[in-house]
Amino acid sequence: MQSTMVEALNQALALELERDERVVLLGQDIGPNGGVFRVTDQLQKRFGERRVFDTPLSESAIIGSSVGMAAYGLRPVAEIQFAGFLFLSMSQLVTQAARMRFRSAGAFGCPLVVRSPFGGGVRTPELHPDSLEGVFLQTPGIKVVLPSSPYDAKGLLASAIDDPDPVIFLEHMKLYRSFRQEVPEERYTLPLGQANVVREGSDASVIAYGAMVTVALEAAKQIEERSGKSVEVIDLRTIWPLDEATITASVEKTGRAVIVHEAPRAGGIGAELTAIINERCLYSLLKPVERVTGYDVPYPVPGHEDFYVPNVARVTDALERALAD
């Protein structure tokens, strides 16, 4: 069936609630209202108030309660309305959920999924669009998933709920209803830590995730039309674990790499990928690795976000530098 990302996520949650009585959903306004973006629409009506329930507006309480439920055998899926407010639950996430397996010497896990919208391009106020994936990349014990399409969102969410350890599942707001895609009605999973080559090429590699995959694909298309150069585009799908094998194979083939993400530049996923490429592909590189990112400032007010979020022109400029003789 043709589905938006919101519809695909709703289908995934319904299937998990059906197949596993341990799965519970919690968060502010996710019950009768179906969540701020309606991802949980009709799920409380269908599965009852014991499986899908509203919480007070307290991010620390939502995540703290979820850690306790996970430790006692449930599979909580918590919704934080906007990723910028994850800061209010950092202690529960970083000092409790992420360390459960390490602290118990592997005896206990914390099968918790935290869903949260993020991302620019929809003119939201402060702390709503912030990209925090780099913060969680620096948090051992937590997996970080950022789907770029409805199909991926459904399969990756099912895998995240299956996972025995905590998963941060970041959903780009601009992708929620921007396009439809064929999505199977039945349950399926996509492995965490496995990237997807969404466009094959031989002259340069672009590595992206979330909404930046669409930007990268358009830039690759324009470069091919202008110069005939063939650009490969890799969708990471998860930034931790990282699919180093796919990244390495692509850059060893093309000799050129451009990394695109919306989060700030310093110490981010682009810096980590650049280090990996330099460590593993140094003798294959024909040009320095290019990074196209957000800037090292707080996310700007809505009127200025077009200057902040990477666009097709910035990615094509980076590709032209990488492809220059």
What 3-state DSSP class applies to 145?
Answer: strand
Q: Give yes or no for a contact between 237 and 145, defined as CB atoms under 8 angstroms apart.
A: yes
Please state whether the peptide bond connecting residue 241 to the residue before it is cis, i.e. omega within 30 degrees of 0: yes
Helices (H) and strands (E) in the chain — how many of each? 12, 14
Indicate the pLDDT class of residue 290, thresholds 50, 70 and 90. Answer: very high
Look up residue 295 and give its two tokens.
């800037």
Cα–Cα distances (Å) from 248 to 115, 243, 257, 282, 322, in that order, read 30, 9, 10, 10, 17
What 3-state DSSP class applies to 171?
Answer: strand
pLDDT of residue 132: 92
**pLDDT beyond 90 at 325:** no
Taking residue 108's Cβ as centre, other Cβ atoms within 10 Å add up to 12
58-110 confidence digits (pLDDT tens): 999 999 999 999 999 999 999 999 999 999 999 999 999 999 999 999 999 99
**pLDDT beyond 90 at 317:** yes
Taking residue 191's Cβ as centre, other Cβ atoms within 10 Å add up to 12
37-66 confidence digits (pLDDT tens): 999 999 999 999 999 999 999 999 999 999
**Beta partners for 240?**
144
Residues 160-170, mean pLDDT to the nearest whole number = 97
Catalytic (active-site) positions: 128
Among the listed residues 79, 72, 135, 137, the one whose alpha carbon sits nearest the alpha carbon of residue 100 = 72
How far apart, in whole angstroms, are the C-alpha atoms of residue 49 and residue 5? 25
19: left (phi over 0), alpha (psi -120 to 50) or beta: alpha
User: What value does the mean pLDDT of the chain take?
Assistant: 96
Look up residue 293 and give its two tokens.
């990112």
Among the listed residues 76, 97, 80, the one whose alpha carbon sits nearest the alpha carbon of residue 88 = 80
Indicate the pLDDT class of residue 278, thresholds 50, 70 and 90. Answer: very high
